Chains A and B, each alone.
Chain A
Amino acid sequence: MEYLLLIYDVEADIAKMRETDMGAMYQEFGRFTEGIQKSGNFRAGKQLEPVATATTIRVRDGKPTVTDGPFAETREQLGGFYWIEAKDLDEALAIAERCPGARIGSIEVRPIVPPRT
């Protein structure tokens, strides 16, 4: 079973972080990634640029509309993700709990629709 861990945080708080704290945070993320690579749970994982860089597009009646900014303005913003493989939700939750993103912000755990056979 595959899950997507969506890491949300308050960008403004991250921007205010001191450089040394920032460095420590990246190191922690690095160790976490390494850990789930070793355990075989890791599929992919990336950090995203801030929502200020986001562009939203929708096509209606064949006509695309492009707007600046994220799809929804929220208090916490999507800042990155992990795509993992886990036995069940409990294992996925245990992995998400260890992710540094859970302490800084919140992690939404979403199952990925399995491929149709």
Chain B
Amino acid sequence: MNLESLYREEWRRVLATTVRLTGDFDLSEEAVQDAFVAALEQWPRDGAPSNPYAWLVSTARHRVVDQLRRRARFPGKPVAFDRLAILETSEIDLSETAMVDDQLRLIFTCCHPALAVEAQVALTLRTVCGLTTEEIARCFLIPVATMAQRLVRVKRKIRDAQLPFAMPPRDRLAERLDGVMLVVYLVFTEGYAATSGQLWIRRQLCEEAIRLGRLLCDLIPRNPELRALLALMLLHHSRRDGRTGPDEEIVTLEEQDRSLWDRRQIAEGVPLLEAALHDGAKSEYAIQAAIAALHARAERAEDTDWAQIARLYDALLEKRPSPVVQLNRAAAIAMAEGPAKGLALIAEIEAKGELAGYHLLAAARADLLRRERRWAEAADAYMQAEDWARVCAIYQEGIATGNATFEQSAPGWEKWDSSHLPAARLVARSGGDILGWAALSPVSSRCAYAGVAEVSIYVAERARGRGVGGELMARLIEESEAAGIWTLQAGIFPQNVASIALHQRFGFRMVGHRERLGQMNGRWRDVVLMERRSQVVG
């Protein structure tokens, strides 16, 4: 018998029933903990009982009775004698329906609106999911003592204000279920959107939220909104391996390697959502899940049905008129109808001033300007002297691959400056950081070759595979043509297939394969010569 998995499965059910019997959260939690310890001791010795749940509930009940009797011996400690009597004598209903009701009552109590939302989240993770206080504290990056105190306070309120361990009345059920769904979704987004904390901890939170979603779908069958929420979480979580790069940096949806998406979760999430929509799901979760499903369905980023996504953002905006949703809608419309339309919408949002200083607004605008090729307006498109340190570091990263250049170390600024053309010195920026750079160097001092230049493009290691190289190349070609360059050439090691593919994509043709052209670390190396003849210059 694996006690770890037993604990995962039975903790919630045993605790829920014990709370029903005792009406006391704290006492029950301790008693259930003790019951699991007893199981750990006795089962390997005496063999596991046929019904572990019943055994654990019964053991926990005895612990509570012992506790209450002990308390009764201390004067001044109030003891609910009536409850003690019931506990000692009554038959315990351990039927399937009772068990389902117990769990629902437990969940609704944890998510009671009289409790602060962060307390609801912590309490749900502790009692419903069975996470330890230490685990929860780690998830939220707060000290264990602080989390322990938060849990003590919330359990004290439940006891002293007499929060009922009960299902909400029928006319309040929908509204209370909204509260429960919010808690589940908060657990999920805490794991999904957090930018700090260890990856595996964040994933654990996402998986706990999905477990909760599944549990609720089991306990309250045929509820379309619950199924939509579960679908939303599955569809978002399916992208987990694609959405961060090797250094845990966020990779945009467009640049994600879709082969890394979890097809099994998509295959579960999409039909789940379809059924939910068919049954009338119309919450924000349902709309967001529909958007996620459209992304999941697109085999490549360019297959995305942006027009449909833009319509879904319209619907979302009606439910939640927030500027962030407006921004997402603008981005979707830009993809569907062109960057100019999107830029106009972003300008409108900006004019309202609600998103002033919001970093994603600037990023969205820069992205659209790039798509529209209005480079000069994409702030700081050109390399400045103060960029050299970062540019040099990226150069050095390229050298370290052994497949970028014959050079063994990056030159100083003066040497670099004198060997590159002043035109078309470009950088790709993101926030305050530089992701890559591009520049041209003359191939000959002879006048006839004045319009021929050698291309250098370097992308920071952590930004590779995100389209930065393509963006730099597109700009470099435009700038070079503006500067009167008619032929761009590039010498590339044949091993550098990514670079060869990039050049091919932008109209460079293979001119020749030059054998044993130069020595590098005592080894002769071949070089592929590629060139691109401008159609507009000369």
Chain A residues with CB under 8 Å of chain B are: 1, 87-90, 93, 109, 111, 113-114, 116-117
Q: Judge whether A116 and B162 touch: CB under 8 Å.
A: no
> Per-residue CB proximity of B151-194 to A under 8 Å, as 1/0?
00000000011111010110000000000000000000000000
State which of A88, A89, A90, A114 has its C-beta within 8 Å of the C-beta of B78: A114
A-B contacts, 27 of them at CB < 8 A, read A1-B162, A87-B164, A88-B162, A88-B163, A88-B164, A88-B166, A89-B112, A89-B114, A89-B161, A89-B162, A89-B163, A89-B164, A90-B163, A90-B164, A90-B166, A90-B168, A90-B169, A93-B114, A109-B161, A111-B160, A111-B161, A111-B162, A113-B160, A114-B78, A116-B76, A116-B78, A117-B78
A109 to B112, CA, bound (A): 15
Q: Which residues of A contact B163 (CB under 8 A)?
A: 88-90
Query: Which residue of chain B has the shortest Cβ distance to A110 in the bound complex?
Result: B161
A93 to B162, CA, bound (A): 11
A93 to B76, CA, bound (A): 30
Q: Which residues of A contact B161 (CB under 8 A)?
A: 89, 109, 111
Q: Which residues of B contact A88 (CB under 8 A)?
A: 162-164, 166
12 additional contacts (CB under 8 A) given A88-B162, A89-B162: A1-B162, A87-B164, A88-B166, A89-B112, A89-B161, A89-B163, A90-B164, A90-B166, A90-B168, A90-B169, A93-B114, A111-B161
Q: Which residues of A contact B76 (CB under 8 A)?
A: 116
Query: Which residue of chain B has the shortest Cβ distance to A93 in the bound complex?
Result: B114
Q: Which residues of A contact B168 (CB under 8 A)?
A: 90
Q: Which residues of B contact A109 (CB under 8 A)?
A: 161
Q: Which residues of B contact A87 (CB under 8 A)?
A: 164
Q: Which residues of B contact A93 (CB under 8 A)?
A: 114
Q: Which residues of A contact B78 (CB under 8 A)?
A: 114, 116-117
Nearest-neighbour CB distance to chain B for A26, whole angstroms, equals 29
A113 to B156, CA, bound (A): 13
Q: Which residues of A contact B162 (CB under 8 A)?
A: 1, 88-89, 111
Q: Which residues of B contact A89 (CB under 8 A)?
A: 112, 114, 161-164
Q: Which residues of A contact B160 (CB under 8 A)?
A: 111, 113
